Chain A
Amino acid sequence: MQDHRFDTNLLKSLLTTKRFGSRIFYFDVLDSTSNKAKKLAKEGIDEGAVIIASTQVKARGRMEREWQSPEGGLWFSLVLRPPAMELHPLTIIFGAAISAVIEAISSVKCQYHWVNDLYVNDRKLGGILMEGRFRGMEPEYVIVGIGINLNFHAKDLSGEFNAPPTTLLDERGEFTASTALLAAILNRLEKEYDRFLEEGPTEIIHKYKNRCVTVGRKVRIINSGEIEEADAEALDLTEDGGLMVELGTGSRGILYSAERLILLDS
């Protein structure tokens, strides 16, 4: 039986970061790591604090949808305190960076599906949900919630899914060391975040472009702006992470939000 408890000392020893992971909070059970992170952020905790839980009993996806987080997954949230700037490209940047780290650690080909999902072979391995809080025009904090299906089996998940779920255990047939994976993710995320703050998103998004499984695929867009449901071809990413699509009518546009974006068979 795999021991799913987290080794925070090992994590600290593997970090090469300046801020990310400067404070590490580990819990066996939380309602959600993002709720805890929000509470800590409101109390004034510094950027880079990381909240990890072995199990979340009330984790959420977008619009409060349930996100199942059994023992054996990598469930954590990161507190950011960004300056006032266009922050939306961070979803793509973080998703792409995490997919690269997962692939390097596990040798499983991992990509991101626009805008916030991690995919392996068109199956969902994980996701990112970022929640910010603004006072006036200034961001107070942004919480990056990350969930990766790691050391359990997808058959243990239940419910309806936009894409069939998978786990790294299913893909590799062996356990992945969660502490080492988290350290590598935090190291990479801080590097890309600092680069984003300094240079903006363009070069980073370009660097990771081939990690986007969505581009070049037919997709079904559900609830985006005036579109209730439409099939389209995903053409390209814009330099700030928007998804350029061509609808069946031939009209083109850029998506910055969609309730769901389903990959259709190629």
Chain B
Amino acid sequence: MNEKIEFIQAMIHMAEEHDLSELSVDFKGIKVALRKNQPTVAPMQMMIPSVSAPANAAPVSAEPAAKAEEKIPSNLIPVKSPLSGVFYKTPKPTSPPFVNIGDKVEKDQVLCIVEAMKIMNEITSEVKGRVARVVLENGKVANEGDVLLYLEPIE
């Protein structure tokens, strides 16, 4: 029985993959005839006909990412956001942060998450160092290229 279901599903799958509207197969005594219904999807009610959104548009009411106004010592290494998204210091709301100021971090250690449209992106350290500053607050928006935190290199 299971084999027959698999067989029929495979036929459906083949019809779907090759966009066939009809398919008839007679194989080992199993006859399958498929006819695809045309989708009857109601037209969407679009309140705005078309919108051209900039690729890096910020979420609703988002404020620009925090700017570090004070002078940053030249030995500090900025960790920049590779994408636009929401900055998270913790893996989940009740967890401790991935890193705190003063923490030693190893190369490839996860420093934070930047999320865009439910893609949770772990940002890792490219160097061995110590966390010198965390620029953004948890839950704030980072634009691509914004500095998330600074690391002080350790020899």
Query: Which of B9, B80, B108, B117 has the largest number of chain A CB atoms within 10 A?
Result: B117
The interface size of chain B toward A, counting residues with CB under 8 Å, comes to 57
Asked if residues B119 and A132 are in contact (CB atoms below 8 Å), the reply is: yes
**Neighbouring B residues of A236 by C-beta, 8 Å:** 46-48, 50-51
Majority-rule SS of B interface residues:
loop
Q: Looking across the interface, which residue of chain B has its beta carbon closest to that of A246?
A: B47
Asked if residues B12 and A245 are in contact (CB atoms below 8 Å), the reply is: no
Asked if residues A216 and B124 are in contact (CB atoms below 8 Å), the reply is: no
Choose one: B43, B52, B63; the contact of A239 (CB below 8 Å): B52
Asked if residues A180 and B6 are in contact (CB atoms below 8 Å), the reply is: yes
Comparing A86-94, A118-126, A159-167, the segment that makes contact with chain B is A86-94
Q: Does A156 contact B (CB under 8 A)?
A: no
Asked if residues B119 and A131 are in contact (CB atoms below 8 Å), the reply is: yes
Asked if residues B9 and A136 are in contact (CB atoms below 8 Å), the reply is: no
Chain B 28-60, CB-CB to A under 8 Å as 1, else 0, gives: 000000001100010111111011110101111
Asked if residues B124 and A135 are in contact (CB atoms below 8 Å), the reply is: yes
**Neighbouring A residues of B17 by C-beta, 8 Å:** 16, 184, 187-188
Across chains A and B, the number of contacting residue pairs, with CB separation under 8 Å, is 193
Q: Does B74 contact A (CB under 8 A)?
A: no
Q: Does A22 contact B (CB under 8 A)?
A: no
Q: Looking across the interface, which residue of chain A has its beta carbon closest to that of B141?
A: A225
Asked if residues A104 and B60 are in contact (CB atoms below 8 Å), the reply is: no
**Neighbouring B residues of A256 by C-beta, 8 Å:** 57-59, 84-85, 116-117
Q: Does B86 contact A (CB under 8 A)?
A: yes
Instruction: Sort A-B residue pairs by CB-CB distance and give the 5 closest, nearest first.
Output: A253-B60, A238-B53, A180-B9, A64-B92, A177-B9
Query: Which of A3, A7, A130, A177 has the largest number of chain B CB atoms within 10 A?
Result: A177
Asked if residues A130 and B119 are in contact (CB atoms below 8 Å), the reply is: yes
